[in-house]
Structure 1
Amino acid sequence: MLRARRGRLGALFLQLAVAARTMAGAPTVSLPELRSLLASGQARLIDVRSREEVAAGTIPGALNIPVSELESALQMEPAAFQALYSAEKPKREDENLIFFCQVGKRGSQATQLARGLGYTGARNYAGAYREWLEKDG
């Protein structure tokens, strides 16, 4: 019995360690790079904060898809996505699909989720909305 428990705990610990490493390894974009991509129209920006947070302000041009909805949103048919979010659904091959949140954690989670679904150009704006406000707000 003890051995079985230890085995389950060991497996859980391993899963958590892998998840932590994966989150830490999320591809990121810096503020100067983000500004450049936005200025040239080469970035697709997705704010994964709640609708209430976004109502208080967001980065101009960002599409709001709360992180709790992201997995289902990225798996929708393009027409359903368009109807729900009033925007074109990102394509798996899109470069510079950039996620952000308030401080970086949900943006990192969103980036890993999107990459897991085949969105190879997904990256996290690690500075998040907090940095944007400090530098641009």
Structure 2
Amino acid sequence: MASIVTKEISYEELKALLGKSQNLLLVDVRSKEEVDKGHIPGSIHIPVDKVEDAFAKGPEEFKAAYGVTKPALDAPELVFHCQMGRRGGVATGKAHELGYANACNYTGGYKEWSEKEGK
């Protein structure tokens, strides 16, 4: 099996998407304790160890669990992030395995976001 190259997105690209896209689904894969200390506005929380189960759910079950519409497999704007990039990469890989071809990882994570946003 060929290894999947994880698509990555920069702070600037994410900031632009947050400003203009109605279709962006930003998934924070950190622990609840980390999210409670701060998060990127508009993100939903699905811990990294739950990503595979979450994205395997049916649309109604996904919406009931997370309060947002489950993205289509070809959704152009599905972004995962964690604190510094590693868990986001793992989650992005799982999404790719499930067929989300355009899923990408915000490699700077919440650490970079909070530094650039002055939080």
TM-score, normalization by structure 2: 0.91
Partner of 2:104: 123
SS in 1 for 2:76: coil
Unaligned runs of at least 5 residues, structure 2:
none
User: Structure 1: how far apart are the matches of 2:32 and 2:69?
Assistant: 19
User: Which runs of structure 2 are paired with 1:40-51 in the superposition (5 Å)?
Assistant: 40-41=20-21, 42-51=23-32
| Per-residue deviation, 1:43 | 2.4
Q: Which amino acid aligns with 2:78?
A: L
Instruction: Give per-residue Cα distances to partners, 1:105-134, cap 9 Å, x unaligned.
Output: 000001111011100110000000000011
**Which of the two has higher C-alpha Rg?**
1
Partner of 1:92: 73
For the pair 1:37 / 2:32, whether they are aligned, the reply is no
Instruction: Give per-residue Cα distances to partners, 1:31-71, cap 9 Å, x unaligned.
Output: 11111111002522000011121111100000100011110
| Identity across matched positions, percent | 43
SS in 2 for 1:99: strand
For the pair 1:56 / 2:37, whether they are aligned, the reply is yes
**CA 1:43–1:86 in structure 2 vs 1: closer, same or farther (change >3 Å)?**
closer
Which has a greater percent of helix? 1
User: What is the RMSD computed on CA atoms of the aligned residues?
Assistant: 1.4
How many residues align? The count is: 116
User: Structure 2: how far apart are the matches of 1:83 and 1:49?
Assistant: 20
Partner of 1:73: 54
TM-score, normalization by structure 1: 0.80
Unaligned runs of at least 5 residues, structure 1:
1-17
Q: Which structure is richer in relative contact order (CA contacts within 8 A, separation 6 or more)?
A: 2
